[in-house]
Structure 1
Amino acid sequence: STATRFAILDTNWRGDDGLVCRLQTVLRGAALGHPEIVVRDVAAHHGADGAPPRLAGAPHSSPFRLRQVLRPGFRLLRSGDIRAADAREHVARDCAGDIAALLASDATWEGRPLRAADVAVLVATRDHGLLVQRALAERGVASVVAGGGHVFATPAADDWLALLEGLEQPHRSGRVRAAALTCFLGHDVADLDADGDPRADSRADSLTDAVSDTLRGWALLLRGRGVAALVEAAEERGLSARVLAGADGERLLTDLRHLAQVMHEVVVREQLGLTALLQWFRDERRRTAGTERPRRLDSDLAAVQVVTVHGSKGLQYPVCYLPFLFQTFVRPVEVARFHAGHDRALDVTGSGPHWAASAAAHQREDAGEELRDLYVALTRAQGQVVAWWAPTKNTADGGLHRLLLGRQPGVAVVPDQQPVRDDDYVTRVLGLLEELGGPTREESVVAEAAVTARTPDDAPLSLRRFGRAVDAEWRRTSYSGLIRVEEEQAGPAGPATPGVVSEPEEPGLQDEATLAGDALAAAATSAEAPGPVDPVAPVADAEPAVVSPMADLPAGAGFGSLVHAVLEHADPDAPDLLAELRGHTVEQLRWWPVDVPADDLAQALVPLHRTPLGPLLPGLTLGDIGLGDRLRELDFEIPLDGGDVRGRPAEVHLRGLGRLLREHLSDDDALAPYAARLEQPLLGGQVLRGYLSGSIDVVLRAEVDGATRFVVVDYKTNLLGEPGRPLTAADYAPDRLREAMLHSHYPLQALLYSVVTHRFLRWRVPDYDPAVHLGGVAYLYVRGMCGPETPVVDGHPAGVFSWRPPASLVVAASDLLAGAP
């Protein structure tokens, strides 16, 4: 469809009246590269009532200043123009001096002292911005290139790359010596020279050997404990003090830490080793060349902002400097892109009868785009604009030059190119524009006297006092974090109680035996919790015992993580389930190295998929439920007691869930005794405010009794058998599973995961009814699931613990965690 109405904004809500009027003198009626893109008349909102300008006390009061660079004093080209690089260097120094004088003055903005962050330097390219930034640094003015370019293209990234290469091959002297020169190790070229060239001497080079030893130790640290531990080790060698002692040290240290965080995240997410991390780092540097990953520095907010014109769109600043918009470099056209009517045309021929017209059309559209960028730059300021003009080879194509010296009064068209005339001619034209109410002409002369900008360092120093109250009870926690208070109280556990070995909730934090011992010790303190599993008495079994398919497989956190990973990715509908399981086992063994043959584990997992799932999913096995009906690894983070509301007083404690268990569960419910555990002071006294995070192994969807049900499933690899006796299905009979659930804190986990699922379903399922859709929780103790021959007692297969809490309990628990009264 085609627009039939055009709306024109006739009020400028950004600039002061004096600035808007001067800009209108040179912009009014100008066509910005297209006959329909014309600058309309506009009135200023600020100052229309006669109010004084918001910028006051500046060394130069004109709201639109144009500083003219004259030829005398420069080495000229044969054309009589100044070399473009020389002009840019001069303008950059003049711009820095003018900014320094402004910030050192008593200038105010809206009645407050003008700050460095109120000043923006708008440039076409980042390289031009860096030129101004260096000139500002010479004047003692802090500045930041907004966006800062890509953090992978910084000196910090160079140091990280050299360090990673040294860590990967600490036996190669070239890499070792390159790493020695980084800020991480702090050596310089003089140190290396004093130690000599190790290639020229068969004797060991002391510095190279010492650094090599350090790199070997750091490599082991990185592989074992990650990037954060490596940074900590570097800090112990004085990294921060060394970096901050150098020029621009705050920026370098911030970039080093920024890159460390990025690498930490990718190592954790993708489980990268050192070699893979190095390759990723190299790829990231190549892939992101020319793009921007914003760099971080809190003090950027107190610095002059150096921004590209493109990046400034939609922004505003009290004072804007436009140092280089008088010129532009026209590149040769290799691929011509232009409009042909309403269509976009692309000419890649590079020659032929139509190429000249295509190239001209391309350059004509570029010239129009240059004018539109100029308009953006001129209209970012609220109080003052300062621009420059200089006679260079590139000036003839510059947008500001063409607008000021190529456009005739009352004529809309701005020429695509305008010849550069002598200084006297330009001075007369700019003077006439000033008389007409345009920019105020000034001669561009770099002040020789050192002008130091006013900085916060000039103010008297005082001790900053911390006046806020710290909410020590607000926290991000997890199920494992909640139960850890009992483990910490119990202290280091001795040998695990025989007969029950639990898997860890967070792999790598603790081994299975420790968690089991802690859980049993905590259970023994509860008057209503059942006693520990008898480690000696054999389990009664009327029929011959069915040996567990995993009887000969190892235990431990790594094994549990391996099983979880295989079950997460394996497709139960694969034509060859055994081959599917074996393939994923081989794949996951790279991430979870366990001393178990892939064939053995795959064979042991096949019966798991053929075992009945019990009363919550009658007639179904895990193999009957395809990936389309599985929500795997459901990550969550939910607010606790208004965790996203600041300043809320503590109202919810974990013992409240124990009260709800008593209110909603019957006395014969398998998990009813756990209420007493939750009401103990140490565990139940925890305040629930902040956020609860975690991950549910899988939520299964199935049709049960004519309704769609969602069942929370948690895989457990716990060993429940008696040491020295073959592991059988009888070790995972319903009574044993109930005891194991109560010995650990699994009832709490089951309730929390039910709440999470309830909140997820009420958000995603139309006409959601918790009494219908909540299908309960199934804990699959995979070692006890032996396939079709698995013993079933009262409808409950061995290895499957089923619990369907009342919907009213889940809803009440959700409301309690949310802080509802």
Structure 2
Amino acid sequence: MLPMLRRLLHDFALPQTLMTRNDGERVLTNLLHLSELLQQAAAELDGEQALIRHLGDHLALSGQAGEEQILRLESDEQLVKVVTIHKSKGLQYPLVFLPFICSSKPVDGSRLPLQFHDADGKSQISLQPTEALIQQADDERLAEDLRLLYVALTRSEHACWLGVADLKRGNANTSMLHRSALGYLLGGGAVLAESAELNVWLHDLAQGCEAIALQPVPEPTDERFSAPRNEAALVKLLVPKRRAAENWWIASYSALRIGDTVTAGADESPDSPQAQKLFDDERLDPEAPRDILTSGGDIHRFPRGPNPGTFLHGLLEWAGNEGFVMTAHAPEKLQDAVARRCNRRGWAGWINTLSDWLQHMLNMPLRLSPDAAPVALGELDQPNQYRVEMEFWFASNNVNVAQMDTLVRRFTHDNAPRAATETVSLNGMFKGFIDLTFEHEGRYYVADYKSNWLGSDESAYTQLAMETAILDNRYDLQYVLYLLALHRQLKTRMADYDYDQHMGGALYLFLRGSRSASQGAYFTRPPRELIESLDLLFQGKPIAHDLPGALA
């Protein structure tokens, strides 16, 4: 932030332009102060958008700024802190000035309800206060002002200046000084008959006390105060001897390099769930049909590739956003939604096939872990039980991807062989979109929809075939990172969170195999040691060397 703003000031000659204005020094100081505050915030935030949101939030709360954000003077050489008496409690200052200590704000009887205390000290209110109650409330206000006066007078270390004058309200001739805390002490509660009598009160107070000095207020002039400037010589500019390396970036599963391939295009990081689907699903088979067959058929004949796969994802996303329970029990509405989406693409021949497929997907009981009862998507109640396309971000501090991959391989799928990731470093933020996150019987799960074509009929979707597809595409890395994101979220939100008790696992739904014996559902739950080790790894902390996969 600071280099950017200083370049802006230099390129547009803003200091020279601003200093021609009467308030130019004030505006320039505000700009520099703002840039310093944003520079401090940038060290704790990730990315320009986060910094913009931070600035917007503070602009919306401009009246509640903290001490570090109070208006800065043009020069700090003669720094003056302006604080309220309330905020000065417990603090000491070398010199204290109380220019308005004789002011007071009497109780307004028209502002209801009127608050006061009875003879037993209990708080009371009145909606029809009498003059006596108003006077009682104002006496209580005066008592509080006297207490604050004591606080104010005892803040200084060396000297304290009090501005004393006779105060009258509006065009009234009657003095109101006696209703202020200081005026009450000077006159013992008596009304000041004439302004000249105030000098008598002050001399009576100062008589015999060397610590009190009376000074008349100086006559006003046209002279303008200018703070002295520091004329210290500028130090020699320090030039760094090496060039700083910038390796901060936003990564996702889709940007990981696996073997000699990249799961996404170049180093892109998808910025939407739809973009992620194009990256995450199976790579397009060169021999797969590229045109949608208009004649229809079963789900296995539905064309393969990123775009048809995204279409299937979109149907489930629509059902989730509308409400799984509602769409599962409204077949006419479901078919209407499928028809509208198909007709927009000229796929009318697939309406019945895809409607039957979606209806079956929503109502089939999904088998999870052995100790959990099956659950259908159509039994999940929005919004208490699930989130569709939950986006997550978490920091990655110089994560060695090869070390992460070694951990994942050792702890999952019995260390089965699979393509290795390239040795790169994740430093910055890690982001992603989880197709479905849901809770069932007190445990939390992530689900991911896969449109991968494993064969021409239901018999192709065995547990072994689905596991092979997961390993071939390295979806094991994907679900482990999704579970890590969920693990961190639950740790933050649940005071009694325990991985073994609350984490359900990952469910991969191979959409074309929903009518097979396996339901096209592959469930897994990696051990606690893996998720906790990855949590430490992404924080930049060392992991236990005795863990399988730990690197020395």
| TM-score of the superposed pair, with normalisation by structure 2 | 0.65
1:749 matches 2:478: yes
Does the Cα contact within 8 Å between 1:240 and 1:253 map onto a contact in 2?
A: no
1:619 matches 2:374: yes
Does the Cα contact within 8 Å between 2:366 and 2:519 map onto a contact in 1?
A: yes
Cα distance change, pair 511–773 in 1 and its aligned pair in 2 (3 A): closer
Does the Cα contact within 8 Å between 2:458 and 2:516 map onto a contact in 1?
A: no
Does the Cα contact within 8 Å between 1:396 and 1:420 map onto a contact in 2?
A: no
Work out which structure has the larger RCO, using CA pairs closer than 8 Å and 6 or more positions apart in sequence.
1
Shift, 1:510, TM fit: 5.1
Match of 1:820 in 2: 543
1:344 matches 2:123: yes
Match of 1:379 in 2: 154
Match of 1:396 in 2: 177
- Determine which of 226, 229, 239 is the counterpart of 1:452: 226
Match of 2:424 in 1: 685
Q: Deviations over 1:639-678 (max 9, x none)?
A: 65xx5xxxxxx6x511112222343345685xx514x1x2
Letter in 2 for 1:322: L
Does the Cα contact within 8 Å between 2:145 and 2:181 map onto a contact in 1?
A: no
Cα distance change, pair 378–636 in 1 and its aligned pair in 2 (3 A): farther
Q: C-alpha distance in 1, partners of 2:410/2:49?
A: 46
Q: C-alpha distance in 1, partners of 2:242/2:460?
A: 53
Secondary structure of residue in 2 paired with 1:405: helix
Match of 1:123 in 2: none
Q: C-alpha distance in 2, partners of 1:390/1:311?
A: 25
Letter in 2 for 1:479: S
1:610 matches 2:363: yes
Cα distance change, pair 636–506 in 1 and its aligned pair in 2 (3 A): closer
1:461 matches 2:234: yes
- Determine which of 164, 186, 194 is the counterpart of 1:405: 186
Unaligned 5+ runs, structure 1: 1-230, 270-276, 408-414, 494-503, 521-531, 539-543, 586-593, 644-649
Q: C-alpha distance in 1, partners of 2:210/2:314?
A: 77
Match of 1:802 in 2: 523
1:656 matches 2:403: yes
Cα distance change, pair 422–619 in 1 and its aligned pair in 2 (3 A): closer
Query: Larger deviation: 425-434 or 368-377?
Result: 425-434
Q: C-alpha distance in 2, partners of 1:579/1:446?
A: 88
Letter in 2 for 1:819: P
Shift, 1:686, TM fit: 0.6
Does the Cα contact within 8 Å between 2:366 and 2:374 map onto a contact in 1?
A: yes
Q: C-alpha distance in 2, partners of 1:747/1:455?
A: 65
Letter in 2 for 1:792: S
Q: Deviations over 1:773-820 (max 9, x none)?
A: 543311345x547xxxx3224xx323x443333444434434544422
Q: C-alpha distance in 1, partners of 2:136/2:225?
A: 47
Letter in 2 for 1:305: K
Match of 1:673 in 2: 418
Q: C-alpha distance in 1, partners of 2:366/2:186?
A: 84
- Determine which of 370, 387, 390 is the counterpart of 2:145: 370
Residues 180-219 of structure 1: matches in 2 within 5 Å?
none
Secondary structure of residue in 1 paired with 2:215: strand
Match of 1:91 in 2: none
Does the Cα contact within 8 Å between 2:401 and 2:424 map onto a contact in 1?
A: yes
Q: C-alpha distance in 1, partners of 2:489/2:195?
A: 73
Match of 1:94 in 2: none
Q: C-alpha distance in 2, partners of 1:797/1:579?
A: 21
Residues 255-274 of structure 1: matches in 2 within 5 Å?
none
Q: C-alpha distance in 1, partners of 2:143/2:215?
A: 28
Cα distance change, pair 666–731 in 1 and its aligned pair in 2 (3 A): closer
Secondary structure of residue in 2 paired with 1:305: coil
Cα distance change, pair 345–731 in 1 and its aligned pair in 2 (3 A): farther
Letter in 2 for 1:609: L
Match of 2:507 in 1: 778
Secondary structure of residue in 2 paired with 1:792: coil
Shift, 1:319, TM fit: 2.6
Secondary structure of residue in 1 paired with 2:271: coil
- Determine which of 390, 413, 426 is the counterpart of 2:199: 426
Secondary structure of residue in 2 paired with 1:328: coil
Unaligned 5+ runs, structure 2: 43-47, 170-175, 291-295, 338-342, 545-552
1:546 matches 2:298: yes
Match of 1:86 in 2: none
Does the Cα contact within 8 Å between 1:571 and 1:580 map onto a contact in 2?
A: no
Q: Deviations over 1:596-616 (max 9, x none)?
A: 99xx99998544322343454
Cα distance change, pair 383–663 in 1 and its aligned pair in 2 (3 A): same
1:436 matches 2:209: yes
Match of 2:547 in 1: none
Does the Cα contact within 8 Å between 1:734 and 1:801 map onto a contact in 2?
A: yes
Cα distance change, pair 744–473 in 1 and its aligned pair in 2 (3 A): farther
Q: Deviations over 1:128-152 (max 9, x none)?
A: xxxxxxxxxxxxxxxxxxxxxxxxx
Q: Deviations over 1:430-488 (max 9, x none)?
A: 464263255322221157565532344x4333356477999857858553586389869
Does the Cα contact within 8 Å between 1:578 and 1:602 map onto a contact in 2?
A: no
Cα distance change, pair 615–629 in 1 and its aligned pair in 2 (3 A): same
Letter in 2 for 1:752: L
Residues 64-143 of structure 1: matches in 2 within 5 Å?
none
Q: C-alpha distance in 2, partners of 1:556/1:242?
A: 60
- Determine which of 419, 442, 445 is the counterpart of 1:711: 445
Q: Deviations over 1:490-512 (max 9, x none)?
A: 6499xxxxxxxxxx853189576
1:249 matches 2:27: yes
Does the Cα contact within 8 Å between 2:386 and 2:438 map onto a contact in 1?
A: yes
Does the Cα contact within 8 Å between 1:555 and 1:719 map onto a contact in 2?
A: no
Secondary structure of residue in 2 paired with 1:657: helix
Shift, 1:343, TM fit: 3.0
Shift, 1:626, TM fit: 3.8
Cα distance change, pair 730–613 in 1 and its aligned pair in 2 (3 A): same
Q: C-alpha distance in 2, partners of 1:566/1:668?
A: 37
Q: C-alpha distance in 2, partners of 1:560/1:304?
A: 66
Does the Cα contact within 8 Å between 2:490 and 2:497 map onto a contact in 1?
A: no
Secondary structure of residue in 1 paired with 2:97: strand
Does the Cα contact within 8 Å between 1:573 and 1:626 map onto a contact in 2?
A: yes
Letter in 1 for 2:130: W
Q: C-alpha distance in 1, partners of 2:265/2:311?
A: 26
Cα distance change, pair 329–242 in 1 and its aligned pair in 2 (3 A): farther
Q: C-alpha distance in 1, partners of 2:150/2:313?
A: 60
Query: Larger deviation: 624-633 or 655-664?
Result: 624-633
Shift, 1:367, TM fit: 2.0
Q: C-alpha distance in 2, partners of 1:343/1:388?
A: 36
C-alpha RMSD of matched pairs (Å): 5.8
Does the Cα contact within 8 Å between 2:368 and 2:523 map onto a contact in 1?
A: yes
Does the Cα contact within 8 Å between 2:393 and 2:432 map onto a contact in 1?
A: yes
Does the Cα contact within 8 Å between 2:451 and 2:512 map onto a contact in 1?
A: no
Letter in 1 for 2:216: E
1:304 matches 2:80: yes
Q: Number of residue pairs matched?
A: 484
Letter in 2 for 1:535: E
Shift, 1:389, TM fit: 0.9
Secondary structure of residue in 2 paired with 1:391: coil
